[in-house]
Amino acid sequence: MATPSPHPRCLIGRFLGDFARDASGNVLAIIAISIFPLIALVGGGVDMGRGYLVQSRLQQACDAGVLAARQRLGSEVVVNGEVPDEVAETGNRFFNVNFRDGAYGSEDRAFEMALEDDFAITGTASATVPTTLMRVFNFEEVEVSTSCQAVLNFTDTDIMMVLDVTGSMRHTNPGDTMSRLDSLKQVIRDFHTQVDGSKAPGTTIRYGFVPYATNVNVGGLLRDNWVVDDWTYQTRQRASLATNANSSTYYRGWTYVSGDRPDWNNWPIYSTYAATFHAATSADQRGHYSCDQGNPPDTLTSTSAPTGPSYVEVQASPAATLTVTPKRVTENGTRYTTTLNGAMCEKRSLTSNNYVQDVEEVVSVPDTSYNWKYAPFSRDVSNWRSETGGCIEERSTYQITDYDNVDFDRALDLDIDLVPGRNDRTKWRPRYPDTIFTRALKDNGSGAINVDAVTTTDTFSKTGTWWFSACPAAARKLAPISSGELDSYLATLVPYGATYHDIGMIWGGRLLSPTGLFASENEDSNGRSRSRHMIWMTDGQTEPYDLAYGAYGTEPLDRRRWSPGSSMTLAQTVEARFGVACEEVKKRNITVWVIAFGTQLNPIMEECAGPNRSFEAANAVELNEAFTSIASSMGDLRVSR
């Protein structure tokens, strides 16, 4: 049986003992003995260095894995609580790419993730690193582990939603069960839940809304001195009575003041007599009775006197001008009548004794009895807040021919930061749709628009009240909004009007800009910067109507930004100005997102949004996906250890 070999530690101990007893060759022995601690130091440094390297790479891979998984999880989980199946797969794939099996000589690689209550994703990663030189000292491996966490938070953010609410939004896309507008409202509710449910503590998320169609309703957001006191409208004024003038007079609003008189329905009977019977003269007739005795002459007298000044009313249907005079009427005396009751005649009388009533005398003159002058006329609009619905006409501009070199000193409508001054060119003008007439075009389609003044008895089309001239719901400035407040606001949105994209972009930019009309409310403050986003959504291509009364008046008559003889169509003009307005918005460090819902993006929309910021949504599901993608992109995805 062989003698077992002694353990290396025993050999070392024996060698050291012999060395202590032997004084010869001390230098060589000392060098030999020093090798062992040197091996320990060098080996420990090498193996620990390998361990630190693995741990560093393991940490990077762990971070990459949870970041990728949290990005894939998105923000919609806050709304529906559903975790996509691909989340774990995505996280593992990114971990594996960044730390491959056997990397840096490691073994037993492991990675696990967990979803926390606040929708953060945490991860743990571990590996074993075999030692090299330290094996001499019985240290065969180094265990390495690390942890990581990824969260999606929203910092201070302003979100302006510029929403197409034109008539086509009442349509329902194929495969959907709700109209486009109702689908949009639900998606916005879910978006609000996602963003507010993911914001960091102490964070302020503000939302603003600009519903747009032919116009925008921003009057409630404007200061009084930002609006003119007088403005000129394409309307009409009475010139003279026509030669065939005719009128009628009637009384309305009888009101008792004093005196005595029986009820009109109960005249007292003072005598009766038998009625005269008249036999039928042919087979197809019937006999009948009549009262043939006359009545005494009436003694009734009536006097009247005005109790106030006359005033004029305009009656819409039938079109007429009413001159109304308030009067007081006093009656005295008796009037007589005879009524037939079966075969008897009943004589009745009604006596008034200082019977006093107030009444309005109305003299009605049909519009066809007047010569009207159709032309631009100025009017006092200082009471516009109570007289109008809140939509506006834009401030001064010009017909642009070179959109690469826009003169913003003239195109004040496209200067989204200009605060109105004393000059009326810089101010907005209230919209009065009831006053607008498109001379000389009639409702039946006859005639043609004429920029020259016209005097006639004809009535031309009042297109300011037609569907394509509609004023949408009021815009809303940036402010935090609760889910209840959001529901109440969305309920005001109704689908009506035509598609003018430029006016929506202009006012979305004005309400979002940190350097414009509302700079004191929108600028960064207290050392905290805000991210700013505009979500611009439409369901159709540019579709203006030259007869519409919009933000630039009636286009063929007012000719402020376009005229019928222009080299560009009105639609092309609207799109070109939309492009200029969008570039002005982006100059304010605002991210613009563009969504085409139930329609296709056109080049000007894609250029406005820029790469990876435009979406086409054929139905409500795809619209929700677009908003969810935007929400995730707005969020601050970061590692939090």
Query: Are both 225 and 338 inside the same structural domain?
Result: no
User: What does DSSP assign to residue 528?
Assistant: B
| Whether 376 and 361 share a structural domain | no
Average pLDDT (503-509) is 98
Q: For position 86, what pLDDT does the model report? A: 82
pLDDT band at residue 2 using 50, 70 and 90 as cut-offs: very low
Q: Are residues 417 and 464 in the same domain?
A: yes
Contact 592, 484 (CB under 8 A): no
Q: Does residue 212 contact residue 550 with C-beta atoms inside 8 Å?
A: no
Structure confidence at residue 487 (pLDDT): 97
The pLDDT score that the predictor gives to residue 41 is: 46
Give the C-alpha separation, 512 to 204, whole Å. 15
**Residue at which a domain ends, from 343, 365, 387:** 365
Residue 553 lies inside a defined structural domain of this protein? yes
Q: Are strands 230-241 and 205-212 parallel, antiparallel or unpaired?
A: unpaired
Query: Model confidence over 377-425: pLDDT tens digits?
Result: 999 999 999 999 999 999 999 999 999 999 999 999 999 999 999 999 9
Please tell me whether residues 319 and 420 are part of one structural domain: no
Cα angle at 239 between 236 and 240, to 5 degrees? 140
The better pLDDT of the pair 375, 5 is held by 375
Give the number of other CB atoms < 10 A from CB of residue 542.
Answer: 21
Q: Answer yes or no: do 263 and 361 share one domain.
A: yes
Are residues 402 and 525 both part of a single domain?
yes
Say if 178 falls within a structural domain. no
pLDDT of 11 higher than 80? no
Lowest pLDDT segment from 103-112, 196-205, 345-354, 400-409: 196-205
Q: pLDDT by residue (tens digit) across 119-145?
A: 778 889 999 988 765 455 555 678 888
385 and 315 together in one domain = no
Q: What is the dihedral of CA 152, 156, 158, 159, to 10 degrees?
A: 20
Query: What integer is the mean pLDDT of 32-52?
Result: 56
User: Residues 317-337: what's their mean pLDDT?
Assistant: 91
Using the 3D structure, point to which of 152, 177, 211 is the last residue of a domain: 152
Last residue of a domain, one of 365, 382, 415: 365
One-letter amino acid at 22 equals D
| pLDDT-derived band at 106, boundaries 50, 70, 90 | confident
| Domain identity same for 312 and 388 | no
pLDDT value for 1 = 42
Confidence at residue 33, expressed as pLDDT on a 0 to 100 scale: 53
Percent of the chain whose pLDDT exceeds 90: 61
186 in a structural domain: no
In this structure, are 287 and 343 located in the same domain?
Answer: yes
Residue 436 covered by a domain: yes
pLDDT at 601: 96
Q: Could you tell me if 469 and 587 lie in one domain?
A: yes
What is the mean predicted confidence (pLDDT) over 432-445? 91
Same domain, 442 and 415: yes
Contact 588, 512 (CB under 8 A): yes
The pLDDT of residue 48 is 66
Q: Are residues 268 and 135 in the same domain?
A: no
Q: Examine residue 327 and state whether it is found in any structural domain, yes or no.
A: yes
CB–CB of 78/194 below 8 Å? yes
Residues found in the chain: 641
Tell me if 168 is assigned to some domain.
Answer: no
Whether the pLDDT of residue 46 is over 60: the answer is: no
Average of pLDDT values for 619-627?
Answer: 95
In a domain, 612, yes or no: no
pLDDT value of position 444: 82
pLDDT cut 70: percent of the chain above it: 87
Full residue range of the structural domain in which residue 291 is found: 247-365
Is 604 part of any domain? no
Please give the average per-residue pLDDT across 518-533, as a whole number.
87
Q: Which of 98-107, 154-163, 182-191, 613-622 has the lowest mean pLDDT?
A: 98-107
Average pLDDT score over the chain: 87
Q: In the predicted model, is pLDDT for residue 27 greater than 60?
A: no
Instruction: Count structural domains, the chain.
Output: 3
Is the pLDDT confidence value at 3 over 80?
A: no
